[in-house]
């Protein structure tokens, strides 16, 4: 629940007694990848330390040092201005570590998921994948609501998806 004396994130000592690097090695030895959850804000949605703007570089390097393969970056406890700056900054910081880390952005979900608020050209350049809609819940109604939203907005989403390209 706290950062260490150098300002780095720390794994929960009860859940990860041997640390994240050992977990990563365990996963990698079995041919699997390790994903981790973070948040563009003061706290994660679950109340753990988040990644405010001044901690982006150190957190990206921590994830690389831990040999994480993917980061799902949420947006609880942040505002639109912080998100607009933070999601691209995290992309740059992850790339600067030299470790290939898949980057999943929740940014579009916090912007309503649709253009013009969501800039898919920019999104395609900074994120490897993203979510457009709120969290799924453990119910069939939740799944249907998400399907309905995508169906109802397909005329907007499909052309937007074709506005970006991988370079």
pLDDT tens readout for residues 81-100: 999 999 999 999 999 999 99
Between 16 and 160, residue with greater pLDDT:
16
List active site positions: 74, 135
Contact, 50 vs 77, CB < 8 A?
Answer: yes
Architecture of domain 20-161: Alpha-Beta Barrel (3.20)
Tokens of 12: 């929960």
- The pair phi, psi for residue 60, each rounded to 5°, is -60, -45
State yes or no: pLDDT of 164 exceeds 60.
no
Distances (CA, A) of 115 to 28, 94, 163: 38, 26, 11
Cα separation, 111 vs 117, in Å, equals 6
> Which CA distances in Å does 110 have to 19, 69, 114, 130, 142?
31, 24, 10, 11, 18
d(CA 138, CA 125): 32
pLDDT at 166 > cutoff 70: no
- Measured in degrees and rounded to the nearest 5, phi and psi for residue 51 equal -120, 90
Give backbone dihedrals phi and psi of 145, rounded to 5 degrees, phi first: -60, -40
Write out pLDDT tens, residues 2-34: 899 999 999 999 999 999 999 999 999 999 999
Q: Identify which of 127, 144, 119, 28 has the alpha carbon closest to the alpha carbon of residue 71.
A: 127
pLDDT on residue 98: 97
Q: Is the pLDDT of residue 163 over 60?
A: no
Q: Which residue has the higher pLDDT, 74 or 155?
A: 74
**Annotated domain spans of the chain:** 20-161
């Amino acid at each position: 629940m706290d950062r260490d004396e150098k300002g780095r994130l720390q794994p929960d000592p009860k859940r990860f007694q041997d640390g994240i690097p050992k977990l990563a090695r365990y996963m990698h030895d079995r041919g699997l990848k390790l994903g981790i959850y973070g948040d563009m804000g003061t706290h994660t949605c679950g109340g753990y330390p988040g990644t405010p703007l001044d901690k982006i570089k150190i957190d990206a390097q921590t994830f690389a040092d831990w040999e994480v393969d993917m980061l799902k970056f949420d947006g609880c406890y942040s505002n639109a201005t912080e998100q607009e700056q933070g999601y691209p900054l995290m992309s740059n910081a992850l790339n600067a570590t030299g470790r290939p880390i898949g980057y999943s952005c929740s940014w579009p979900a916090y912007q309503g998921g649709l253009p013009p608020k969501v800039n898919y050209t920019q999104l395609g350049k900074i994120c490897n994948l993203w979510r457009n809609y709120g969290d799924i819940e453990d119910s069939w109604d939740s799944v249907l609501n998400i399907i309905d939203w995508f169906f109802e907005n397909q005329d907007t989403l499909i052309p937007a998806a074709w506005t970006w390209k991988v370079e």
